[in-house]
Structure 1
Amino acid sequence: MISFAELAVVEDIIRSVNEKAVLPRFRSLNDSDVAMKGPMDPVTVADREAEDLLRERLTAFLPGSVVVGEEAVSEDASVLDALTGSAPVWIVDPIDGTRNFIAGSARFSTLVALAAGGELLASWSYAPVLGRIGTALAGHGAWVDGQPAHVAQIADPSAPTLPITTSHPVWWPHGYGRGVDAMRDAGLDVGYFDACGIEYLDLAAGSRSAMVLTWEYCWDHAAGLLLVAEAGGHVAALDGSPVRLEGGNALPFVASADPGTAERIRGLITASGPAAG
């Protein structure tokens, strides 16, 4: 459905939207430019304008396609129904890391993925201030910062030495937050992340062993899931099943450099979860 040349065209669209709607507001937001969708869930005028522009330009690029965007879903949850519809779907997070963006941190990105029939076809992860870009084309590989991307080679999954990142335990599913302690007690180097789009870039480029994801909003994960898979990585829900874009996954799920690392992490989390008492 999309070629290498078209992969570059979409990248140009994403870059141009950032130039118009996002970067001019970086470190220049007024109080009136920020609103709260819910507790700890801010949105800015940049998020909304960027999503509107991406919707307009991406659907013009691929007639008949639709967009599932974070901001549109926050206004109307039925937008998610497109994930199981027949039309190609652009899954969009206009600014992943909005809190960082508001704080003036460069650690934010625009995430775009194209899917059809529940399968990911292509993805783009663009961190404009950091100057980083990750792209993936199903069946053809992944690239980070213009170079072929490959996950880390883990010689011994029982003792990975590269960092594992996750969200703070307060964001884990009820009863599973002790999984962070279990991983650390097993000798794993566990840290917390602030922008999952950038963490997916790092995992695909080989500087992480794994990510443990405690929520399943498709706009946060779709681009990174394909990027990691095409870089040779492995993704599975807590029960070992494939991660579904439409949700209903056993959480947390694990994106990792190899199946052995994922299996070890899932085992530690499961053993420390609610059933463990």
Structure 2
Amino acid sequence: MIEELEVFLADGLTEVEEAVRKAAAAEIVPRFRQLAAHEIVEKHGPHDLVTVADRRAEEHLTESLGRLLPGSVVVGEEAVHADPSIYGALGGEAPVWIVDPVDGTRQFVHGDPGFCTLVALALRGELLASWTYAPALDEMAVAIRGGGARLNGERLRSGSPAEGGALEVATSHPDFTTDDQKRALLGLQVPGVDPRPCGSAGLEYLAIARGELDAIAFSWENAWDHAAGLLLVAEAGGAQRTLGGEPFRLAGGNVLPFSAARDEVTLDRILGLLSAGA
């Protein structure tokens, strides 16, 4: 399997980009601003929605990605919602596609273009490649482990925040935080830091990679929300760690919150503030 995976990483990555574009064109874009009320369902409340576009796009990607890399498995948000045992594949020996068909479903439902499709390829917990596609914005970001990150073909570099300015940090919505995590996130309420609730997680990671956002501080660890973006930030020159001081683990069990940032200095500052608040 390792030999087949190496060949795929050398020759098959453009086919993945095409598969992501096709899934979005077939199942997501035609439903943007066209959803009927019965096509939208609350999973765990008004901030956790699923639509027919999410389900159909994930089915489309599961079929196409599995065909591109025989022997691989797919861990998708909607499949795991139906059968939580699927998540265990992240700790297995087979290559894993990690899929969020519509990241930012709330924005999608409200007709906001700030949503995307996220796909990452991992093996034994190590990220190998990722795709972040925002069809309504015509943006495709691709990251390859050791090969850099690009947006619409142009190299991404996160850079460092300008001196003297407040750090802009996207944070978890309060509905998705425990009391301890809320206290940690309150540590960001200091002069020189400007925290705000996040939108689509995938697009927040992209904003870090392109140097438009300084950091994120998130308190949930679903791999489909973070895998693509974490590799994108790393390959653009950024950094990430959990509150426990370790790299984020795809399979879970992380000390939360965790942060990703444009550079190590910014990451250290954000994690220090989260620790002080905890």
Fold agreement, TM-score > 0.5: yes
Q: CA deviation at 1:164?
A: 1.6
- Contact 1:139/1:230 (CA < 8 Å) preserved in 2? yes
Unpaired runs of 5+ in structure 2?
Answer: 1-5
> Pick from 216, 219, 223: which aligns with 2:228?
223
Aligned to 2:105: 98
Aligned to 2:187: 182
Aligned to 1:266: 271
The Cα offsets for residues 99-137 of structure 1, whole Å up to 9 and x where unpaired, read as: 111111111100000001110000000000011111001
2:237 matches 1:232: yes
Q: CA deviation at 1:170?
A: 4.3
Looking at structure 1, the residues matched to 168 and 138 of structure 2 have their Cα atoms a distance apart, in angstroms, of 23
Comparing 61-70 and 253-262, the one that deviates more: 253-262
- Contact 1:237/1:254 (CA < 8 Å) preserved in 2? yes
The Cα offsets for residues 68-112 of structure 1, whole Å up to 9 and x where unpaired, read as: 000000000000111011110000000001111111111110000
Going from structure 1 to structure 2, the CA distance change for 1:51 and 1:118 (only over 3 Å counts) comes to: same
Unpaired runs of 5+ in structure 1?
Answer: none
Aligned to 2:22: 16
Looking at structure 1, the residues matched to 88 and 34 of structure 2 have their Cα atoms a distance apart, in angstroms, of 36
* Residue identity matched to 1:151: S
Looking at structure 2, the residues matched to 271 and 223 of structure 1 have their Cα atoms a distance apart, in angstroms, of 29
> Pick from 34, 40, 62: which aligns with 1:34?
40
Query: 1:184 aligns to what SS in structure 2?
Result: coil
Comparing 37-46 and 19-28, the one that deviates more: 37-46
Q: CA RMSD in A?
A: 1.6
2:204 matches 1:199: yes
Query: 2:182 aligns to what SS in structure 1?
Result: coil
Query: 1:27 aligns to what SS in structure 2?
Result: coil
* Residue identity matched to 1:243: F
The Cα offsets for residues 119-174 of structure 1, whole Å up to 9 and x where unpaired, read as: 00000000000111110010111112321011122476xx6645221123443332
2:171 matches 1:146: no
The Cα offsets for residues 205-243 of structure 1, whole Å up to 9 and x where unpaired, read as: 111111111110000000001000111110100111010
- Contact 1:152/1:209 (CA < 8 Å) preserved in 2? no
Q: CA deviation at 1:5?
A: 4.6
After TM superposition, list the pairs within 5 Å mapping 1:207-218 onto structure 2. Answer: 207-218=212-223
Going from structure 1 to structure 2, the CA distance change for 1:190 and 1:7 (only over 3 Å counts) comes to: same
Query: 1:52 aligns to what SS in structure 2?
Result: helix
Going from structure 1 to structure 2, the CA distance change for 1:263 and 1:162 (only over 3 Å counts) comes to: closer
- Contact 2:184/2:257 (CA < 8 Å) preserved in 1? no
Going from structure 1 to structure 2, the CA distance change for 1:4 and 1:129 (only over 3 Å counts) comes to: farther
Aligned-pair identity in percent equals 47
- Contact 2:131/2:143 (CA < 8 Å) preserved in 1? yes
Query: 1:111 aligns to what SS in structure 2?
Result: strand
Looking at structure 2, the residues matched to 173 and 186 of structure 1 have their Cα atoms a distance apart, in angstroms, of 24
Going from structure 1 to structure 2, the CA distance change for 1:183 and 1:162 (only over 3 Å counts) comes to: closer
Comparing 139-148 and 218-227, the one that deviates more: 139-148
* Residue identity matched to 1:90: W
Query: 1:124 aligns to what SS in structure 2?
Result: strand
Aligned to 2:254: 249
Query: 1:189 aligns to what SS in structure 2?
Result: strand
**TM-score with structure 2 setting the length:** 0.93
Q: CA deviation at 1:181?
A: 3.9
